[in-house]
Amino acid sequence: MKQTTIAKPVEMVGIGLHKGHPVTLRLEPLEANRGIEFFRKDVGVVIALTPQSVVDTQMATVIGKNGHVISTIEHLLSSIYAYGIDNIRITLDSDEVPVMDGSSASFCMLLDEAGQKKLESNKRIMRIKKAIEIRDGDKYVKLYPSTNSVFDFTILFDHPAIKRQSYHVELTKSNYKKEIAKARTFGFTSQIQYLQSKNLAMGASLDNAIGLDDTKVLNSEGLRYPDEFVRHKILDAIGDMSLLGMNFIGSYEAFAGSHALNHALTKALLADADAYEVIELSSAVDVEYQKAYA
């Protein structure tokens, strides 16, 4: 199985979640073995997608270099990971990825428009060989060996519209588009005033997030899935795990996981050479993996 990039450049314009300003996003092909890289064309800075580039995980996953940052990268990266794209340049004219409708559905449509192109080098993936776990009280995220790529997430919120939700998905491109991609980010009206006092969530609206007051969902159209909240947490986790630098074969499990815990998990895995191996997909035994990203 060969590495891939996109077949042609594509772009879109959307609002940044935190600053509320229009942002132009352009996706461009890259040659083999380049991986995923971001380019802030307004300041001329390239930021490689690695755990070492992460500078903040409080409200989103934020990467940076030389004082220049790009925030809210996880929704776009989630779709790129689910499509199995190995090499791509993400060009922006601002410091955040546009939020679009709060899910990754728009990015999936953009990737469908771009198409995919096979490159000459063999695809590389990471196989999880032993369990790695990060805990913070009752909260945890972990990776452990499996024969396929699985994401299993549980959340617990003291809110009548959420409560306890769990979801399990075997990650394939098809399953992702059907079960995960349309799940939107969510926020509480009680937090908006505080966030906006910190110049955050200035672009947040019911057009790009699920809004909740103390008792109910505020969006007139309701939810896209009965358990949309936990599905979005899986969407985020897939994007955060893409900072490993390649797709992995193994199971991800979380209870009340977060961007911060996911970041710690990627660093812990990469720091333990016995916990994983990188393998090349180059023979007929890779047929099942190819099906997952067809």
- Catalytic positions, please? 259
Radius of gyration of the chain (CA): 18
Q: What one-letter code names the amino acid at 80?
A: I
Q: What is the DSSP string of 201-234?
A: STT--TTSSEEE-SSSB--TT--SSTTHHHHHHH
Tokens coding 232: 């979005």
Look at the block and give the residue holding tokens 């800075």: 45
Q: What one-letter code names the amino acid at 1?
A: M
Q: What one-letter code names the amino acid at 79?
A: S
- Between CA 68 and CA 43 the distance in angstroms is 8
- Between CA 162 and CA 164 the distance in angstroms is 6
Q: Which residues pair with 174 in a beta bridge?
A: none
Neighbours of 155 (CB within 10 A): 20
Q: What are phi and psi for residue 210, nearest 5 degrees?
A: -85, 125
